[in-house]
Structure 1
Amino acid sequence: MATARFPGKGADVVVANWTAPALGKPLCVNGTRWILYLLEECVENMWEYFSVVIGLVSMLCFLLSTLPQVCEAYRNGKVEEAMSFGFLCFLLSGDLTSFAGCLLTSQLPIQVITVVFYIFTDLILISQFLYYKIKNSSSRKNPLLKWLCFMWCGAATLVLLMVLKLVIDSSTTSNAQSPTISKSVEITGYICGYLASIFYLCSRFPQLYKNFQRQSTEGTSYLLFALAMMGNGTYGLSVIVVLPALGGSKQAYIIKHLAWLIGSLGVLILDFFVTAQFIMYRKNNFGKNSALLSVPEVEPLLREEEELSVL
């Protein structure tokens, strides 16, 4: 949900916060230097400063959220049993529409880069899902499958790096030429924001049903959902905390960010249900793990008894 990761960063708001000197370069008077350098935004009061810092924490949580699941999938190799493919597809669809919204509403390069990283981790999760599904369904090992997976990940990485370079170059050119965007393009971008929120909300239902069907959460990393909860919670807080510093209409500001607030807070509520499933099915997970650990200890003893009986 990085289309409006930092509140009030539309082109019209950014231009209003700048004082343009004669040379044509923006000048921020009494602004925070590191925010000006990193985010190209003029922050001149405490509330805006807190909003930006909380927004950066939200971004960091989202960046790290999928990595524990990638490690968990690599460790147990049973992704197709634990994860819902619908969850992964909706997650990718949400990030793709969020990426489109970032481009259409002329968000900052750091936000675009973040969304591209989300898409990259989504592709890794989907690749893992398909790889282990094919591998576990086949009775014999196929070395070609592993090489195809490596080639796919390498090609996806190269494509995403090219997209990043094109996006950064085009954003630099467009910002130099015109600081504003047309109303129709901006509306299309916000429509993409609403679609992204719908996709994010829909992503949790297949995983909730999958966990309920198995009566287990084994094979899924809770950190995936815990970090997503932290990211969504801090994002909503970053939007709300800046309200006291607004000079214009607070209602218009809320409406402008309503799509991403609905998506963030809605997913946050659904992740509480996922958390409840992790707590409810914890005993089932422990029972399955202990049963699996007991199998290697029993089998050698049985084989020794059979060998003695033969002698």
Structure 2
Amino acid sequence: MAAPPRFPGGKSVDVSPANWSGPAALGRPMCVNGTPWILYLLEECVDNVWEYCSVVIGLVSMFCFLLSTLPQVYEAYRNGKVEEAMSFGFLFFLFSGDVTSFAGCYLTSQLPIQTVTVVFYIFTDVILISQFLYYKIKNSSSRKSPGLKWLCSMWCVAATLVLLALPKLIIDNSANLDPQSPAASKSVEITGYICGYLASVFYLCSRLPQLYKNFRRQSTEGTSYLLFALAMMGNGTYGLSVIVVLPALKGSKQTFIIKHLAWLIGSLGVLLLDFFVTAQFIMYRKNHPAKSKTLLSVPEVEPLLCEEEELSVL
């Protein structure tokens, strides 16, 4: 599921000062030749076709990631066997990657829409982990606890309220902060990029436990392929959005690539691993989990008639 971070990674394009007008004292300067809807939504001045294509492809990438976890949420609800199909390591590393992505997003002063988007990713991770724990406890216990469903529901409601309030609190806090010294600002930015590399490592590690679990079960039953298909589309379009903008850059292309290197490594690395996941879905598409095979292959050893009935028949 996803590339580090699963939003367009703070992509910014060098824009000529000629495209901006209006005194700074009156508020945010206006972008004369830019695309209005992009300026309003992303606060980015886009005045050529390369930048425009990059933004549109980046939004497609974001949309794919927003939808990627929803099919798995439904699949887990439908079959109730998520703990048998999903690896907890996959969910844990995915959640860790999104949290560190959020830290990088905040520390490098990304756009508000990116902050809100990564918070949504964390919310879907919480739903997936809650489902995993709920069905694991429910299916492993001989007695169904009536308080289990209530506890999980309250956990999801509390997490939802916190995550809904978090973006506004962070954005308001960022707006009220005093300008930092150049040295402190540079240190915070470096910390943000370190978080980006950590997120890349977490996302790459997330696929390995799931690949191993699929191999051990010789089955992908219980997991939704749309989870990985949409992640592949998101990772592919993210990388494309970074590459497409290169011809329009007025600054150093090398510097631009270096700033996005963490996200590109994670994006392309996860994309490669998802091809292996796809191969597993193809190879194991007709297979059932080993437990199901054992139950289906148990021979009928009990006689149709007990000994007493057999003697009475004779």
Fold equivalence (TM over 0.5)? yes
| 1:104-123 map, 5 Å | 104-123=107-126
Correspondent of 1:265 among 264, 268, 285: 268
Higher helix share: 1
3-state DSSP of counterpart to 1:106? coil
For the residues of structure 2 that align with 1:85 and 1:250, how far apart are their CA atoms? 40
Given that residues 51 and 242 in structure 1 are in contact (C-alpha distance below 8 angstroms), is that contact kept between their aligned partners in structure 2?
yes
Selected match of 2:256 from 253, 265, 271: 253
1:29 aligns with 2:32: yes
Residue 299 of structure 1 is matched in structure 2 by: none
1:203 has 2:206 as partner: yes
**Shift, 1:171, TM fit:** 3.7
Structure 2 runs not aligned, ≥5 long: none
Shift of 1:2: 3.6
Q: What amino acid does structure 2 have at the position aligned with 1:100?
A: A
| TM-score w.r.t. length of structure 1 | 0.87
Instruction: Spell out, residue by residue over 1:93-134, the C-alpha distance to the aligned partner (whole angstroms, 9 max, x if none).
Output: 000000000000000010010100000000110000000000
Distance (whole Å) between structure 2 residues aligned to residue 171 and residue 33 of structure 1: 25
> Contact 2:35–2:47 at 8 Å: present in 1 too?
yes
- Code of the aligned partner of 1:85: F
Give me the whole-angstrom Cα distance separating, in 1, the residues matched to 2:64 and 2:230. Answer: 5
1:103 and 2:106 correspond? yes
- Structure 1 position 151 matched with structure 2 position 182: no
Task: Give the match for residue 223 of structure 1.
Answer: 226
Task: Quote the Cα distance in structure 1 between the aligned partners of 2:296 and 2:71.
Answer: 23
Distance 2:111 2:208 in 1: 32
- What is the CA distance between 1:168 and its match in structure 2? 2.5
Q: Give the Å deviation of 1:169.
A: 1.7
Contact 1:3 1:99 survives alignment (8 Å): no
Shift of the alpha carbon at 1:184? 1.0
Query: Is the counterpart of residue 280 in structure 1 residue 286 in structure 2?
Result: no
- How far residue 72 of structure 1 moved from its aligned partner, in angstroms, is 0.2
Larger Rg: 2
Structure 1 residue 36, shift from structure 2 partner: 0.6
Identity of aligned residues (%): 76
* Counterpart position of 2:76: 73
1:63 aligns with 2:66: yes
Residue 58 of structure 2 aligns to which amino acid in structure 1? G
Seen in structure 2, the aligned counterparts of structure 1 residues 16 and 113 have a Cα distance that, compared at 3 Å, is: farther
- The CA RMSD over aligned residues, in Å, is 3.0
Equivalent residue letter for 2:193: Y
Unaligned runs of 5+ residues in structure 1 are 296-301
Letter in 2 for 1:88: L
Equivalenced residues, count = 298
Question: Hey, what does 1:39 align to over in structure 2?
Answer: 42
The answer to whether the Cα contact below 8 Å between 1:3 and 1:102 also exists between their aligned partners in 2 is no
CA contact (8 A) 1:20 1:27 kept: yes
Residue equivalent to 2:134:
131
Q: TM-score, normalised by structure 2?
A: 0.87
Asked if the contact 1:7–1:238 (Cα under 8 Å) also holds between the matched residues in 2, the reply is no
